[in-house]
């Protein structure tokens, strides 16, 4: 399977705290993307990081990528109750345009 | 921009019937569309990649005769679940690819929840 692994599977934090989610993958990639999914809904694209990039920021989001370890992390700073959702990493292999999703992290932010 | 719609948003059908799900890119043309399946509290699993005007490429373990994909235009792809069974009950999500800054970005539809009785 080309599916990636994410940890933790579930994370519960207080509002205002930071949340960190990790993603590991198996193959060489062109880019890695993070998505958010509210329960029973579609996916919202959060951020894309290319294989030649090491860190990227977007608002309260910070993504890192370590291609030598085949891993990525997503940091959400100053979390809000509205951040409660499932977060998935997805990898795009070199030379291909289909995505393979990680197992996901269910984040709960307690007001 | 880059809105993708799916229809229907949910469907309940009897075992043995066929169900068609539509995926449309509303404000852009997508040469490639993708179909995923998601079981409760699990991740998305890629089922097939659909290119306009050609046959879909199915992932290993996905029955092409059961999950018929048609990509008739640059804005529409359909997934037909034939002879549906209760184990086909799932959340089906499509995405449409658009080339942006040298990268193929996928935009996802809101999903279709299929329940087979």
Q: Quick: pLDDT tens for A6-59.
A: 889 999 999 999 999 999 999 889 899 999 999 878 899 999 999 999 999 999
Interface of B with A (CB under 8 A): 6, 32, 34, 36, 41-46, 49, 91, 93, 95, 97, 103-111, 113
The pLDDT value given to residue A15: 97
Please tell me which of the candidates B46, B91, B108 has its beta carbon nearest to residue A100.
B46
Which chain B residues contact residue A42 at CB under 8 A?
6, 93, 108-111
The pLDDT value given to residue A3: 67
Which chain A residues contact residue B103 at CB under 8 A?
30-31, 48, 50
Backbone phi, psi, residue B88, to 5°: -85, -10
List CB contacts of A101: < 8 A, sequence separation 6 or more.
A3, A4, A35, A88, A89, A90, B36, B43, B44, B45, B46
- Are A31 and B91 inside 8 Å of each other by CB? no
Mean pLDDT confidence for B21-44: 91
The residue of chain B nearest to residue A3, with distances taken between CA atoms, is: B45
Please tell me which of the candidates A41, A48, A98 has its beta carbon nearest to residue B49.
A98
Is the Cα dihedral A106, A109, B3, B8 positive or negative? positive
Which chain B residues contact residue A41 at CB under 8 A?
110-111
The pLDDT value given to residue B7: 97
Report the alpha-carbon angle A19-A21-A25, nearest 5: 170
Mean pLDDT confidence for A60-88: 97
The residue of chain A nearest to residue B105, with distances taken between CA atoms, is: A97
Q: How confident is the model at residue B100 (pLDDT cuts 50, 70, 90)?
A: confident
List CB contacts of A9: < 8 A, sequence separation 6 or more.
A103, A104, A105, A106
Contact B14, B116 (CB under 8 A): yes
- Are A42 and B105 inside 8 Å of each other by CB? no
Phi-psi region of B53 (alpha: psi -120 to 50; beta: other; left: phi over 0): left
Give the separation between CA A41 and CA B30, rounded to whole angstroms: 22
The mean pLDDT value of chain A amounts to 92
- Are B42 and A103 inside 8 Å of each other by CB? yes
Please tell me which of the candidates A40, A97, A102 has its beta carbon nearest to residue B43.
A102
Q: How confident is the model at residue B21 (pLDDT cuts 50, 70, 90)?
A: very high
The residue of chain B nearest to residue A103, with distances taken between CA atoms, is: B43
The pLDDT value given to residue A2: 56
The pLDDT value given to residue B105: 82
* Three-state secondary-structure class, residue A94: coil
pLDDT in tens, B47-78: 999 888 788 999 999 999 999 999 888 899 99
């Amino acid at each position: 399977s080309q599916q990636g692994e994410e940890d933790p599977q579930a994370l519960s934090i207080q509002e205002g705290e930071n949340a960190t989610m990790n993603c590991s993958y198996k193959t060489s990639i062109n880019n890695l993307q993070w998505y958010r999914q509210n329960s029973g809904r579609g996916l919202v694209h959060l951020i894309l990081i290319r294989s030649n990039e090491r860190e990227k920021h977007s608002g309260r989001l910070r993504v890192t990528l370590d291609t030598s370890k085949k891993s990525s992390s997503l940091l959400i700073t100053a979390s809000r109750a509205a951040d409660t959702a499932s977060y998935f990493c997805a990898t795009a292999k070199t030379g291909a345009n289909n995505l393979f999703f990680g197992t996901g992290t269910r984040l709960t932010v307690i007001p | 921009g880059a809105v993708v719609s799916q229809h229907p948003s949910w469907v309940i059908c009897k075992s043995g019937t066929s169900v068609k799900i539509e995926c449309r890119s509303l404000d852009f043309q997508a040469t490639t569309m993708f179909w995923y399946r998601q079981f409760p509290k699990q991740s998305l699993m890629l089922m097939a990649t659909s290119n306009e005007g050609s046959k879909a490429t199915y992932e290993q373990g996905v029955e092409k005769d059961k999950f018929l994909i048609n990509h008739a235009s640059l804005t529409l792809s359909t997934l037909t679940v034939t002879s549906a069974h209760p184990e086909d009950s799932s959340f089906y999500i499509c995405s449409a690819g658009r080339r942006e800054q040298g990268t193929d970005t996928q935009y996802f539809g809101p999903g279709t929840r299929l329940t087979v009785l």
